């Protein structure tokens, strides 16, 4: 019998993309899932779209909260999650139809508590650009500090191997990467399925496209969240910068 997967999607002013993102979940060949759409106080038509779709599909549930940011939205979804597996998906990203089936089979094979996959950068329309990010077979904590290749919309956790209370994201910038660091710091190994199963949509004005902001965020993670020395932070930062550039060219 297939184990249930809880898919957590924070939604804030995503009316342009959210229908397509929901459709990619509904198209999954692995069918035992629940989709938790955490509506984060949008000011556009997102909530109306979600409420309409919720009425049409029993596996979809809308969770409402005042605008509090993606970290709190994901944590809210985690509290409500009923599945053994927890998967993250951002409101503008897209999965291939085989994503869940292939990744869960991979996790079973590797006996993995934490897994991630390769992905492809996509344009505003969600069309792949041909720039595919390849991922290593495994990542441990020290490797992750130098290589933040784990992308949120590719991640799945197994809560039978890693307790849910360990998966709440800190309320800081780059909360997702901070969570990966924290889990890996405890000795967990993340397993990478080196297959392109996700399209990472990058609107021109998105936060992640702001290179200076990305630099500030990774430095803050090293120094404040991880408590690394200036020298060790700079050492890891150099590797991070080279790999970040390679992923985008």
Predicted local confidence at residue 25, as pLDDT: 98
Higher-confidence residue: 244 or 224? Answer: 224
Residue 135 has pLDDT above 80, yes or no: yes
Predicted local confidence at residue 189, as pLDDT: 98
Confidence of residue 205 (pLDDT cuts 50, 70, 90): low
Predicted local confidence at residue 246, as pLDDT: 72
Residue 248 has pLDDT above 90, yes or no: no
- State the virtual CA torsion across 2, 80, 169, 177 in degrees, nearest 10: 30
Confidence of residue 207 (pLDDT cuts 50, 70, 90): very low
Predicted local confidence at residue 204, as pLDDT: 61
Alpha-carbon distances of 75 from 20, 65, 163, 198, 217, rounded to whole Å: 23, 11, 14, 22, 20
Predicted local confidence at residue 245, as pLDDT: 73
Residue 234 has pLDDT above 90, yes or no: yes
Q: Which of 183, 160, 175 is nearest to 111 (CA)?
A: 160
The mean pLDDT of 53-62, rounded to a whole number, is 96
């Amino acid at each position: 019998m297939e184990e249930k997967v809880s898919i957590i999607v924070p939604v804030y002013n995503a009316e342009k993309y959210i229908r397509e993102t929901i459709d990619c979940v509904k198209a999954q060949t692995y069918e035992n899932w629940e989709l938790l759409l955490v509506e984060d106080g949008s000011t556009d038509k997102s909530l109306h779209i979600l409420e309409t779709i919720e009425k049409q599909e029993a596996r979809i549930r809308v969770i409402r909260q005042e605008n509090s940011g993606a970290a709190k939205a994901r944590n809210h979804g985690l509290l409500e999650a009923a599945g053994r597996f927890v998967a993250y998906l951002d409101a503008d990203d897209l999965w291939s139809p085989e994503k869940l089936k292939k990744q869960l089979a991979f996790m079973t094979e590797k006996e993995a508590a934490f897994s991630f996959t390769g992905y492809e950068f996509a344009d505003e329309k969600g069309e792949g650009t041909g720039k595919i990010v390849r991922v290593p077979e495994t990542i441990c904590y020290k490797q992750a500090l130098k290589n933040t290749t784990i992308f949120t919309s590719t991640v799945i956790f197994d809560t039978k191997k890693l307790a849910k209370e360990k998966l709440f994201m800190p309320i800081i910038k780059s909360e997702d990467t901070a969570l990966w660091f924290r889990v890996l710091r405890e000795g967990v190994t993340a397993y990478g399925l080196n297959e392109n199963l996700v399209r990472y949509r990058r609107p021109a004005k998105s936060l992640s496209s702001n290179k200076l902001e990305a630099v500030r965020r990774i430095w803050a993670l090293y120094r404040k969240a991880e408590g690394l020395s200036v020298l060790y932070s700079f050492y890891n930062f150099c590797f991070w910068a080279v790999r970040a550039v390679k992923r985008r060219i």
